[in-house]
Amino acid sequence: MPAFSLEPEQHAWRAELRTLAAQRLRPLADKGEPGHVNRPLLAELGRLGLLARLFASGALELCLMRESLAQACTEAETALALQGLGAHPVHAHGSPAQKERWLPGVAEGGAVAAFALSEPGAGSDAAALALAAEPDGAGWRLTGEKCWISNAPEADFYTVFARTTPGAGARGVTAFLVPADRPGLTGSALQMLSPHPIGALRFDAVPVTAADVLGEADRGFAVAMGTLNLFRPSVGAFAVGMAQAALDATLDHTGRREAFGGRLKDLQTVSHQVAEMALRTEAARLMVYAAATAYDRGAADVPGRAAMAKLLATEAAQYVVDTAVQLHGARALRRGHLLEHLYREVRAPRIYEGASEVQRGIIAKELYARTHHQEAP
């Protein structure tokens, strides 16, 4: 059976999620304030059991959740994904005490998590982190800044990546679980194109100890990359969900809209554009499913597959949403229109969790490594 085939129950679950998103999550999302954490929405995701499934499911199930929610309510999708991104390092590498303290709250939607990797001078080059973890006898003091952090500054705790060994590149980074109420930790919101909360964090000698380390000291880069390998295909799933929503809206619009003596769909230039939108959406979906299945099976080529899935899906979604706007005309640019919303949402995924250029670099690196391995005696 191909890696991307879905079982009938998986198709049914996707449909159920789309209905839940439209009926129970969309109304809560509409009441939220753009740029701020929507805690009632998170609580409802918890009541529905979706947040708990972040830690009980594999990559394919995560992708199915994100794609399905994104079709009907991007705010719900993003709220779920950010909980997973911020808390997965705790789930995968946390101590029993860390897990007991934070994961139940994350699953219930009461504790807001955030993944704090990017810095003003270290976005795509994650190994160039400058946030300093300076030994102070009892542990470390964190000094520096983080930037472009989703859910900041309103999260309840942060998975923070800091440099414990200067000059060691990726080998000198440690992951810490830092509660938001630690002395010296402050933050500010950033006004961004996308509607979900994004902010900057400032660390002024924030105290952390060995009890706050996630995994092992100086091994934090592996924690970050392991998390991203899981979530990159699901970023692609988010993009596929948005592309499908734009495609569905376009099929409806072009099938009804009268222009030039007939319906828009009867114009070959329009129908061919719609066909291209469908082609790219389905190709992205299949690659996302294949990458997620490879992750769940423990395949050796997960980094390359994850990068391909994220790259193809986010670039495809940008094309599909942009084309949908063009075919809808000026109405799609009106504030509150579905496509106006998707147009703002679709741009960021080509940058976060590794920009498209970074994904191409990962793909090339994996290809050449494989070639070198095959040529070795």
Q: Which residues are marked as active site?
A: 353
d(CA 25, CA 176): 32
Query: How many whole angstroms separate alpha carbon 104 and alpha carbon 119?
Result: 29
10 Å CB burial of residue 82 (0-12, 13-18, 19+) is: buried
Give the rounded distance of the alpha carbon of 370 from its chain centre: 28
How far apart, in whole angstroms, are the C-alpha atoms of residue 301 and residue 293? Answer: 11
Q: What would you measure as the largest C-alpha separation in the chain, in angstroms?
A: 80
Q: What one-character DSSP code corresponds to residue 21?
A: I
Q: What would the DSSP string read from start to end of 341-366? A: HHHHHTTGGGTTTS-HHHHHHHHHHH
Within 190-336, strands assigned E span 198-208, 213-214, 258-259, 262-263
Identify whether the C-beta of residue 156 lies closer than 8 Å to the C-beta of residue 145.
Answer: no
Burial 167-182 (b: 16+ CB within 10 A, else e): eeebebbbbbbbebeb
If you write DSSP's letter for every residue of 137-183 in order, what string do you get?
Answer: SSSEEEEEEEEEEETTTT-SEEEEEEESSTT-GGGGEEEEEEETTST
